[in-house]
Each structure stands twice: as C-alpha cells, then as structure tokens.
Amino acid sequence: MKILVCVKQISDTDDIVRIDASRAWIEYHEKTSFRMNRYDEYALEEALRIREKYPETSIDAISLGPARAVSTIRKALEMGADNGIHLLAEQNSFISPSEIATLIATVAKPKGYSLILAGVMAEDDMFCQTGQLVAAMLGLPCATSVIYQERFENGKTLYVEREIEGGQRECLHIDLPAVLTIQSGINRPRYPSLSNVLRARKQEILRLNIKDLRQPEPCECLACLSYPQTQLKGEFIQGSLENKARTLLRVLHQKALL
C-alpha cells in the first residue's frame, strides 16, 4: 500500500507574528523558528504505524512551501517516511487551500496512493480544507477529524472514527483509496531514531517547482491582513510580579471567589 502524507511547515505558534508592509502576508525574521504542523505529525505517525503493521507499505511525505520547507520534509524522513516530495513555492506569500490542493492532487494522481493523510487543519491558517479538497479533486472518499482508524482483513475498507462535537464519535466504513484528515491525540508521535536521522541526512528529496506544474485557478483571494482590535473585556494587572500576585488575590477575595 502506498501512503501519501501532507506535511506543512508553520512558524512556531508561540512566536510573535508580524504582517508585512503591503499587508499581504506574514513577515518572518531570522529568529522565526519553523516546525511541522502538529496535526500533520499525528498524520505521519499514523502512517508509520500502518507500515509497522503492514510492512509492504511505503510512505511519501509531501510539502508545499518555500525553500525552508525542506527542513520539515527532512523531519518527516527522520521520523521514518520513505520519500520526500517538495513542491517549491519560491515566494513567501499566501496560497489558498484550493491552489495548494490542486497542486498536491496533480502530483498525487499518477502515483495511485491507496491512502492520503493530512492533519485536520494547519495551525497557522486554520482553514480545514486541504485534505477534503484533494479528496474531492481526485474523486476519493474522505473522512475528517479522524481519531481512530483500522484496516479490515479484506485490505479494501477502513473502519474509522471521526471526532465530532459534544464528546461524540461518528463511526464509519470507508473504502480505499481514501483521504483521512487526522485529529491530534490519535497517537503519540515518535521522536526520530538515530538511524533514520542519519539516513534522512543523505537522502534526496524530489523537488518540483510549482511554476512548472499546472497553474491552479484561485477561488478565493486574500484582500488584506490586520491585527485584531482586541476589545479588552478586562484589564491588564500592572506592577511587579509580587504586586500582580497581591492584586489578583485581592480582587478574587473581593469577589468572594477565594
């Protein structure tokens, strides 16, 4: 079975995010640290676990992004993916989910994957679209927010549990080939083993410039970015550490909460 895992590189969520001068996208600086989208880590780990169970499986990891995205593909190889594919977008600019999905689907189509995995969403742009779009473009069934999956003996069908609101799960049977978007908590992603780190260091990553692929037609465009005008409901407590602690205890006491 051939599995494709979509991995996105994102800037670390604790970092300060700045809008660029034209208000068109995010400006990153030398100190920005980048890492794999957490939900994609869970997706990759799930693929690795499938391969442990069915050793004939091979896993490709694909990422669309600027040159720096290579490090995230490398991380996927270190975790254990067999091959890396980099769809190079030269500029650091907004690319809509439909464009990203078109490019991934274009590359995935001739490869005949049995299973395509992605994270349920990207932590940065939070669209929750890419996996579903790839599925629809390739005419494959899709289940989102998957928190459990298991292949039936026949090798053709998956039993899948989707996490829905209100503490419920939706259980379904879905035929392969299929696309699943993976929810966090489905597994515990591993740390790379030394042997995989060494292997990944030397391994070639297939690079395709998105300029050379079929140009997707944008369905949505980003008009501009801004910072939220946070209407503070409350107040920032000021002063030294001790003062803040004292003030907080005082107000909680006054409100009879303590």
Ligand X SMILES: Cc1cc2nc3c(=O)[nH]c(=O)nc-3n(C[C@H](O)[C@H](O)[C@H](O)COP(=O)(O)OP(=O)(O)OC[C@H]3O[C@@H](n4cnc5c(N)ncnc54)[C@H](O)[C@@H]3O)c2cc1C
In the range 5-64, which residues lie near another protein by CB under 8 A? 13-14, 16-17, 19, 26, 38
When binding is defined by CB under 8 A, the residue of 29, 112, 154, 223 that contacts another protein is: 223
Query: Closest separation between CB of residue 204 and another protein, Å?
Result: 33
Among residues 80 and 119, whose Cβ is nearest to ligand X?
Answer: 119
In whole angstroms, give the CA distance from residue 58 to residue 37. Answer: 22
- The residue (of 7 and 87) whose beta carbon lies closer to ligand X is 7
Task: At 9, list the tokens.
Answer: 């590189």
CB of residue 174 to another protein, shortest distance in Å: 5
Instruction: Return the ∠ at Cα 178 (arms to 175 and 184), rounded to 5°.
Output: 115
Selection from ligand X, another protein, none that 102 binds (CB < 5 to 8 A by kind) is none
The reply on whether position 121 binds ligand X by CB under 6 A is yes
Does 242 sit near ligand X (CB under 6 A)? Answer: no
Site map (CB under 8 A) of another protein, residues 139-158, x = contact: --xxxxx-x-----------
Query: Is residue 74 classed exposed, middle or buried when 0-12, 13-18 and 19+ CB atoms within 10 A define those classes?
Result: buried
Residues in CB range of 238: below 8 A, 6 or more apart: 244
Assess 145 for contact with ligand X (CB under 6 A).
Answer: yes
d(CA 169, CA 146): 9
User: What is the C-alpha separation between 181 and 249, in angstroms, rounded?
Assistant: 44
Supply 165's token pair: 């609101």
Residues 72-91 contacting another protein, CB under 8 A: none
